[in-house]
């Protein structure tokens, strides 16, 4: 099993550009999450999904959109990137119960100039 994979690993954008980050998991997990991690801070939840076709807002959803068209994939979109979105983005998944441990991807380092 590959676990949780993220593409791309690195990306540099100019202000106003758009992009999509892809997260894929092969563990048949129901729950998936997108976090951002900034220096000196813990992870902050952007959006999450409790199952295929469902999404919900987390702590810091502004400027981001998500889709979960397939159970194994969770996409994070930036429609108009801003320098404040420079961060490391992590995707995670967990089994049916949200109380279980989360499995994390390796992260995507995004820089917005």
Partner 1 sequence: SQQGEEDPQALSIQEGENATMNCSYKTSINNLQWYRQNSGRGLVHLILIRSNEREKHSGRLRVTLDTSKKSSSLLITASRAADTASYFCATINTGGFKTIFGAGTRLFVKA
Q: Which residues bind partner 1 (CB under 8 A)?
A: 4, 31, 33, 35, 40-45, 48, 58, 90, 92, 97-107
Cβ contacts of residue 18 below 8 Å, gap of 6+? Answer: 77, 78, 79, 80, 81
Output the smallest distance, CB 75 to partner 1, in A: 18
> ∠ at Cα 94 (6, 43), nearest 5°?
65
Output the smallest distance, CB 55 to partner 1, in A: 13
Output the smallest distance, CB 16 to partner 1, in A: 28
Q: Give whichever of 49 and 85 is closer to partner 1, judged by the CB atom.
A: 49
Q: Give whichever of 18 and 48 is closer to partner 1, judged by the CB atom.
A: 48
Q: Give whichever of 26 and 79 is closer to partner 1, judged by the CB atom.
A: 26
């Amino acid at each position: 099993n590959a676990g949780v994979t993220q593409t791309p690993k690195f990306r540099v954008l100019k202000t106003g550009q758009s992009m999509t980050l892809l997260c894929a998991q092969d563990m048949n997990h129901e729950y998936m999450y997108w976090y951002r991690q900034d220096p000196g801070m813990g992870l902050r939840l952007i959006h999450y999904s409790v199952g295929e076709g469902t999404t919900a807002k987390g702590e810091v959803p502004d400027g981001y959109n998500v889709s979960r068209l397939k159970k194994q994939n969770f996409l994070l979109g930036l429609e108009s990137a801003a320098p404040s979105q420079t961060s490391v983005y992590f995707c995670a998944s967990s089994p049916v119960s949200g109380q279980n441990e989360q499995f994390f991807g390796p992260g995507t380092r995004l820089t917005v100039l």
